[in-house]
Structure 1
Amino acid sequence: MSAANRPDERFTLANERTFLAWMRTALGLVAAGIAVIVLVPGFSTGWVRTLIGLVLVLLGSAAALLGIRRWRQVRRAIEEGAEMPSSVPLEIFAGTVAAVGIFAAGATVVSTLIH
């Protein structure tokens, strides 16, 4: 790649920062999932707590995989001057995280009302 065709470093570094944000999100989701399972035994019932925790851990794994995939797609688009990748997978991921949050909130309310 010639110097004239080389991508702007600012865009490359911004893509790397976004990738690192995905990794922080993944780590946070995994830690939250483990915390729900291990550290809050009084939260809801055992199976609900385990379900929410496992879903959070799986979402963390998905975030890591989605982040690396997105980083590669954006890097390729920057290098080739192509269109940016679709945001649909990001929207699906955000919706899934929101659904888990709503479910956890509902479980909290039900657990509070029962106890």
Structure 2
Amino acid sequence: MLPSLTPTPNYDQQQLAAARTRMANERTFLTYLRTSLALVGFGLALIQLHPLRASGLGYGALAVAGLMLLVGWLRFRMRQREIEGCQVPSPILH
């Protein structure tokens, strides 16, 4: 069998690591978003099904959903700035 004459691409390991880190940050934000949407659905279902008895819990779920979305977005932006500046903190060893 003859060796392949096509050149293999030369990937920069630093760029690949940075891209993986950015994608992990985006996946984490999407997890916050997905959880927030689930809480919105749960809260609206409670409000529709039991408007008198469970409305407090339903509105509480909506408030928690908004808070979770805000926290997720703030964490995403903070980590994005750290990644862009290559200032990702090292994990604390116990």
Q: TM-score w.r.t. structure 2 length?
A: 0.70
Q: What letter matches 2:47 in structure 1?
A: I
SS in 2 for 1:21: helix
Aligned residue for 1:17? 27
Aligned residue for 2:68? 63
Indicate whether 1:82 and 2:92 are aligned: no
Unaligned ranges ≥5, structure 2: 1-11, 90-94
Higher share in helix: 1
Distance 1:24 1:17 in 2: 10
SS in 1 for 2:87: coil
- The CA deviation at 1:46 is 2.1
Unaligned ranges ≥5, structure 1: 85-115
Distance 2:64 2:48 in 1: 17
Q: What letter matches 1:31 in structure 2?
A: G
| Aligned ranges 1:1-115 → 2 under 5 Å | 8-39=18-49, 41=50, 46-47=52-53, 49-84=54-89
- The CA deviation at 1:82 is 2.1
Distance 1:51 1:65 in 2: 21
Distance 1:9 1:81 in 2: 12
Q: What letter matches 2:42 in structure 1?
A: A
SS in 1 for 2:38: helix
- The CA deviation at 1:37 is 1.2
Q: TM-score w.r.t. structure 1 length?
A: 0.58
Higher Cα Rg: structure 1 or 2?
2
- The CA deviation at 1:54 is 0.3
CA RMSD of aligned residues (A): 2.2
